[in-house]
A and B are shown apart, each in its own frame.
Chain A
Amino acid sequence: MVNVTLRVNGETRSASVPPETTLLRLLRDQFNLTGSKLGCDVGDCGACTVIVDGQPVNSCLMLVGQVEGREVLTIEGLANADHLYPLQKLFEHFGSLQCGFCGPGVIMSAKALLDENPDPSTEEIRDALGGNLCRCTGYTKMIEAIKGASCILRGEEAPLVKSA
C-alpha cells in the first residue's frame, strides 16, 4: 500500500491505496469525485483531465505515488454552491456539451489554457483541446464558449446569443 497526501480542490486529502492505483481511480473511487471520467485509460481521450500544479494532465496516467504533495484541481473544484465558473456558465449557454462525457475534461483543459493565456486565438484553443476527444463532435460550440469565457475573465462583455 502507498500512503499519499495531496491537496484536492483546496483541501488536504489522504489515502492508503495499492501502488498501481492511478490518480483518476484515487479521485473517483477514494474521494468520490466522479466528475473526472474514465474513457480510454491510456491518455488518448482526455475525459480524465485534471489540473496538477497548474498544468492539465491525464489523471489516468499518473500513479498515486507520483502525486504526493501535489495540488490537484478537478471539475468539482471550479464552482461553489452559489456560483458557476464562467466556462461552465458559457458551456451551458452555448449548448457546448451534448452527451457531456468529455465535458469535465474539456473544461479543465480550457481552464488551464485561460489561466495562462487570457485571450487565446481559435488556433490556440484547438491546440489546447487536441487531447480531448468529443465524439458528439461539438467542438465549434466549445470554442465559442471558451472565447466567451475568456471575455468574461478579462472583465469584458461576452458575445452571448440573445433569445428571439
Chain B
Amino acid sequence: MAEKPKVIEKPDVLERPDILKPQAPAPLVAFPIEVVVPEGRQQTPAVGQRASRADGRLHGLGQTKYIDDMYFPNMLFAKIKRAGIASARIKNIDTKEAEAMPGVVAVITGRDIPCNSFGPSLKDQPVLADTRVFHAGDGVAAVAAVSEQIATEALEKIKVDYEVLTPVLDPLESLKLETPGVHAPSANIYGHKVIKKGDVEKAFAESDHVFEGTFRTQMVEHVPLEPYACIAQWDANGRVTIYSTLGRITLGRADVARTLGIPMSRIRIVATVVGGNFGGKNEIRAEPAMALLSKKTGRPVKCVFTRSEEFTSSTTRHPLIMDYKTGVTKQGKILGRKIRLVLDGGAYCSWSETTLGKACILSAGPYNIENLYAEAFVVYTNKTMTGAMRGFGAPQVCFAYESHMDDIAKALGIDPLEIRLLNAFDEGSLSPTSQKLHSVVVKESLLRAAKRFGWNGIGDGVGNGNGA
C-alpha cells in the first residue's frame, strides 16, 4: 500500500477552472451574418474575382443537411447482411427468425429484386446476391426495422446456407484462360485495349540497353468522410423518391428503373450535398433494395453504410500489375517501350472500362516514344469491386513509368532530371494515340520544380529519400 501522500497534485482540469466554466453559447467576438443577394439580371463578374463557396457558411454552421441528417415521420432503418465469403453458391436463405423479431418490419433477399443486375457499363452486379456470391462484401439480404439496433441484430438471425467455392484472388491467375470464370461461363478478361505505334521489337534490337521492371499498386478505398446513405420513399401512387449520396443521379435513375422494372418517370432521385465522393459514389448501391423495402412496408426506409461496409461493399481503386520494357540509347533517349497492364477489376465491372482505357493511353508517360506497344487487360477476381477513383488509372501508371525512368537513369548514371528533359513531350508532340498536344510545358515545369526544391543533379542528396 502507498504511504501517506506528501504532495498532492490535482488533475489539471481542476487547476484550470476556466476549462470547467460553462461555455457561453454566444461568442465573445462575432460577425454579423451578412447576406449578399445580387440584384436581378445583374451581371456578376467571374474572371479575376475571388469566389467563395456558396455552401461554405452552412457547412461551418453544421446546418448542411446530408442524407443521414434527414428524417421522415415513421421512417424505418435498414441494414444489409454481408456474405463474408469471397465465392459461394447460395443454397438457401432463411429469414423467418429475423422476420419474427419484434421491431423488424420487412426482410428482402436477392430473389425479391425484379431485375437483379446493374452497372455503369456491363450489367454484371446484383443489388443483392441471389444464387451466387462473388465477393465477401456482397449483400445477401436486407432488413428494415424500427431502429438501426434491431435491424443490426436481425442480421444475425438470417441463416444463409452456402456452398463455398474456390475464389479467384490473383489477377495474374485470373488472366489465364484455364482459370475458372468468376462469372462463368464468361471469361475473366472483360476488357482489353492495345496501343501500337512503330515497331517495338526493332527498336529494342537497335537499343544500347533494354531495361525491364514490374510495378504493382494496391487497392485503395476512397474513404469519403460521409459513408454511403440513402432514404427511399415509395408512395401510394407507385412513385418512388430516393434521397441518396449518389453523385450521378441521372445514371442512377436508369439503374434504379432497370432493377425495379418501372419506368424512369416514376422515379425521383434527390441528391443533396455529398460528403466526399472522389469517384466512389458514382453508381447506385442499395437504392433498389431500399425502394423495395419501402414498397413492402409503406414507410420511408433509410440505410447508412458502416465504415467497414464502405470498405468492403463500395468500389475501390484498381490495383495494377504493370510490366515495363524500355530500350534506350547510351545517352538515355527512349527508342521503344513495351507495356503490359493487368487491372484487378474485382467482382464487378463498374467503371473498369474507363479506367482501363485511360491507364493504357497514359501508360507510356509524357515522353516522345516512336515505337510503343501498350496492352491492358482488366480481369474479374472474387474481391471488392474496383471502379472510378480520381484519375481513373492515371496515378497507378504514373507511379510505374516514373519509377521505371528513375531505374533507367540510375543504371545509366544519368541525372533523373536529364533523362526526362531528353525524352519529354514538346509543343506539338503526338500522344500515343496520335493526339497533337498543345500548351505543353512539361520541361518548363520540371526545370522550375527542380529550381524550387534546389535540385543540383545526382549526389546532391536532395533526391536521396529526403523528398522534395
Residues of A at the B interface (CB closer than 8 Å) are: 7, 9-10, 18, 20, 28, 34-42, 45, 47, 51, 53-55, 71, 73-89, 91-93, 95-104, 107, 115-116, 133-136, 152-153, 155, 161-164
Contacts and interface: CB of A to CB of B under 8 A. Distances in A.
Interface string B51-65: 011011111111111
B261 to A, nearest CB: 34
Interface residues of B, number: 53
B307 A42 contact: yes
A153 B68 CA distance: 33
Given A116-B19, A164-B48, 7 more contacts: A84-B31, A84-B60, A85-B30, A88-B60, A89-B31, A100-B64, A115-B19
Contact of B25 (A47, A80, A91): A80
A99 B31 contact: no
B403 interface: no
B23 A71 contact: yes
Interface of B: 13, 16, 18-33, 48-50, 52-53, 55-66, 68-69, 149, 222-227, 273-278, 304, 306-307
Given A76-B62, A92-B57, A53 B273 contact: no
Contact of B26 (A80, A93, A115, A135): A80
A34 B31 contact: no
A85 B27 contact: yes
Contact of A97 (B19, B60, B278): B60
Contacts of A81: 33
Given A37-B225, A39-B226, A84-B31, A99 B60 contact: no
A133 B225 CA distance: 8
A104 B433 CA distance: 47
Contact of B20 (A54, A104, A134): A54
A35 B62 contact: yes
A99 B27 contact: no
A76 B66 CA distance: 16
B23 A10 contact: yes
Which of A81, A85, A95 has most chain B Cβ within 10 Å?
A: A85
A91 B31 contact: no
Nearest to A54: B19
B247 to A, nearest CB: 11
A95 B56 contact: yes
5 contacts: A73-B23, A85-B30, A92-B52, A101-B66, A104-B62
Nearest to A162: B50
A143 B18 CA distance: 25
B60 A91 contact: yes
Nearest to B28: A153
B296 to A, nearest CB: 24
B33 to A, nearest CB: 6
Contact of B226 (A37, A91, A92): A37
A41 B56 contact: no
A91 to B, nearest CB: 4
Contacts of B274: 99
Nearest to B225: A101
A86 B278 contact: no
B30 A97 contact: no
Nearest to A89: B31
B59 A103 contact: yes
Given A38-B68, A95-B52, A101-B275, A18 B149 contact: yes
